Structure 1
Amino acid sequence: MVYKFAIEELMTKLRILSEEFDFAHRHDPIEHISSRVKRPEAIGQKLRRRGLATDAGTITEQLDDIAGVRVVCPFLSDVYHVARMLTGQDDVELVRSKDYVANPKDNGYRSLHLIVRIPVFLSDRVEKVKVEVQLRTIAMDFWATLEHKLFYKYTDQLPEDFAGELASTAVVAAQLDTRMQQLHERMRGTSNLVAPL
């Protein structure tokens, strides 16, 4: 239950940041937000794969992705703006970040991953709950969504050149992001909006 509440807290923060930024800058840095809490059976499978115990303490300490929020942004600069706004809040603790935008995975996957701790105010205590936040552009989300669907459909019979083809499509998506960012900057009369976290 605390993971569900942590997601609700985080979603509220992101909606406020989105609306406030849009009001101040006439640009909404968030296209859409989705969330999920990992199913108990998926948690158990992950712990068993890692050879870990399945008690509550191990789950809390060892797993960072029980609660997950995905933030899809229009432009590259928005990914970093939203990350900075979120982690700049006093009650949001940045535990760890992995910048797969600046350093894509070998398969071409790009996204900015943050593990944050969010306070959840319960009737008798405050619990700080870890939430994984994935920030990506529309193009990154398009690629990652279809890559995931393809791998689940063809797990046993991947064509020989499949990995290379996927990686090359990721490059095309990255080029599209760069071009759209440049157009965005041109229209706004700015430059150098993209700055890593």
Structure 2
Amino acid sequence: MEPDPAPLLSTRAIEALQRIDPATLSEVQAFRDDFARFIMPYKFGIDEVSTKVSILREEFAELHDYNPIEHIASRLKSAESIEQKVIRKNCEPSFEAIRDAITDIAGVRIICSFVSDVYRVFQLLTAQEDINVLRVKDYIAHPKPNGYKSLHVIVEVPVFLSDGPVRVPVEVQLRTVAMDFWASLEHKIYYKYEGEVPEEILRDLTAAAGTAAQLDVKMEDIHRQVRGDGGSQYALPISV
């Protein structure tokens, strides 16, 4: 038998709920249900892409002498993050408009050992028949002014729900370990200073991005020497 949920609520919470107008409470519940229906396909989209990447990772681990994928992470934007982006993009506050305007609600991050691995994994993932590439931003070939590097890809994957399949956009970020370390540090610094980062720290961050890029180049050169091959470069197969 399921436990009575009432004891899980504090007396204050119960009293607050009792003071809310029933019609308002009904509207809040309806919104929660609508949001759950809206966000669920994005969660499943993350599952689809993560599974595909995990399969590639396991195949390389079992059948090849080298695995280009270090690790995988994912995130689903919160309601608050979606709301903030709706405001920044001046988007109509409806689920239909949000679905069309915001393509990074679901996100998967793939961390690779070397730059060539980033493009290799990109090619292997996007070559799959049920993946549709919507947009690519190559911040590795064209870094942001602050030094940020990463390969951003918006892909569309099918999610099969009880009432039929839907196509869900998922943002996939591919980067090296060095790029990921730098991006993680930058995020923490911007969070600490609430976006108002002192100029000297910004200069140091940009310089550190250059150091990380040099490290990537040097480590890939060593990797090629160890493997005794040319370390084939993987070019993007589509225009970016």
* TM-score under structure 1 length normalisation: 0.95
Tell me by how many angstroms 1:157 deviates: 5.6
The equivalent of 1:3 in structure 2 is 42
CA distance in 2, matches of 1:6, 1:172: 35
Amino acid at match of 2:97: T
Q: How does 1:87-102 map to 2 (within 5 A)?
A: 87-102=126-141
CA contact (8 A) 2:155 2:170 kept: yes
Provide the identity percentage. Answer: 51
2:89 paired residue number: 50
- Per-residue deviation, 1:155: 3.3
Aligned Cα root-mean-square deviation (Å) = 1.3
Q: Residue type of the partner of 1:158? A: V
Matches within 5 A, 1:1-197: 1-155=40-194, 158-197=197-236
Distance 2:42 2:198 in 1: 39
Partners of 2:145 and 2:77 in 1: how far apart? 26
Larger helix proportion of the pair? 2
Whichever residue aligns with residue 111 of structure 1, its letter is S
The code of the aligned residue for 2:133 comes to: L
User: TM-score, normalised on structure 2?
Assistant: 0.79
Equivalents in 1 of 2:172, 2:196: separation in Å? 32
Contact 2:104 2:171 in 1 (8 A): yes
**Contact 2:158-2:168 within 8 A present in 1 as well:** yes
CA contact (8 A) 1:7 1:69 kept: yes
2:108–2:170: 8 Å Cα contact kept in structure 1? yes
- The 3 A distance-change label for structure 1 pair 51 and 157 is closer
Which 10-residue stretch deviates more, 156-165 or 114-123?
156-165
Please tell me whether the aligned partners of residues 185 and 193 of structure 1 are also in contact (alpha carbons under 8 angstroms): no
User: 23-32 vs 121-130, which deviates more?
Assistant: 23-32
Report the residue type matching 2:120 in the other structure.
Answer: H
SS at match of 1:52: coil
2:45 partner amino acid: A
How far is 1:192 from its partner? 4.2
Partners of 1:170 and 1:55 in 2: CA distance: 39
More divergent stretch after superposition (14-23 vs 127-136): 14-23
Contact 2:190/2:196 (CA < 8 Å) preserved in 1? no
Q: CA deviation at 1:161?
A: 2.3
Query: Which structure carries more relative contact order (alpha carbon 8 Å, separation 6+)?
Result: 1
Structure whose CA Rg is larger = 2
